[in-house]
Amino acid sequence: MKTNGSAIKNIPFEKIAKVEFEGDNHIPGSVDTPMREDAHELSDEEKIAFIEDRFQDIMETLGLDLSDDSLSGTPHRVAKMFVKEKFKGLDPKNKPEMRAFDNKYKYNEMIVEKNITVNSSCEHHFVPIMGKAHVAYISSGKVVGLSKLNRVVDYYARRPQVQERLTRQIAEEISRSLNTNDVAVIVEANHLCVSSRGIEDKSSSTVTAEYMGHFRNESKKREFLDYVNMELKH
């Protein structure tokens, strides 16, 4: 088995205690995803090759035999999944183009897109966060194709995340690209780091909300929540 000396770091005890406390308590950081300045210097292929090597080290450190047919392709599969799927929202080239159109119908009420699938990952444990987002905005003269709202949710979800930041990033992106202050976002999700480890609570879910502009007003907030709770009668 190859060993990588530089990977063995001497982390002082106080730091480890802090790391475990912050992770388990899910203390949120800043609104922007913390990124390195050189974040986009490598191509996807280079990133995949690097991650593949390191993931192989992780598996070998755990004691797995990578000459087994079932395991031999795992480092590559995981690396490709990280770069091209689970964390593709870290790369601005994957950001959906939010082309806004004039609001020709003069529809001035709120537009709600609800039950949008959220497929994200907890940045403290790198395990899935799965749930739904409900978003709404009131046009200030511009509208977007409805599926763009789903795509914005998906783009920001596909990063290592904390749910509070995800909620704000979605709201701010919709506000910015549609040039409106009137945006609401609710995210309800299950965190596998809560259900499958630590406290192992399988029934709880986490709800976060961001209300901007007119959605801070009780009647607009109530109207949005009524739409979210409304069941379609087919």
In angstroms, give the least distance from the CB of 87 to Zn ion.
15
Scanning 50-58, 92-100, 116-124, 223-231 for contacts with Zn ion by CB under 5 A, the matching segment is 116-124
Instruction: Report the run of H or E that residue 166 belongs to, with start and end.
Output: helix 163-178
Provide, rounded to whole angstroms, the least separation between the CB of residue 14 and Zn ion: 21
Give phi and psi for 69, each to the nearest 5: -55, -40
Structure-token pair, residue 81: 């999944």
Displacement of CA 201 from its chain's centroid (Å)? 21
Q: Which residues are catalytic?
A: 122-125, 163, 191, 193
83 binds Zn ion (CB under 5 A): no
Dist. CA 212–CA 166, nearest whole Å: 15
In the bound state with Zn ion, the residue whose beta carbon lies nearer, of 156 and 215, is 156
- Region from 42-50, 72-80, 120-128, 216-224 binding Zn ion, contact rule CB under 5 A: 120-128
**112 lies in the site for Zn ion, by CB under 5 A:** no
Among 78, 116, 118, 122, binds Zn ion (CB under 5 A): 122
Written as six digits, the tokens of 6 are: 């530089």
- The single residue among 133, 153, 183, 193 that binds Zn ion, judged by CB under 5 A, is 193
By CB under 5 A, is residue 125 in contact with Zn ion? yes
User: φ, ψ for residue 2 (rounded to 5)?
Assistant: -80, 145
The residue within the footprint of Zn ion, chosen from 88, 124, 158, 220 (CB under 5 A), is 124
**What distance in Å separates the CA atoms of residue 34 and residue 6, rounded to the nearest whole number?**
24
Measured CA angle at 194 (ends 211, 56), to 5 deg: 110
Minimum distance from CB of 201 to Zn ion (Å)? 13
Tell me, rounded to whole angstroms, the distance of Cα 177 from its chain centroid.
19
Question: Where along the sequence are the contacts to Zn ion (CB under 5 A)?
Answer: 122, 124-125, 193
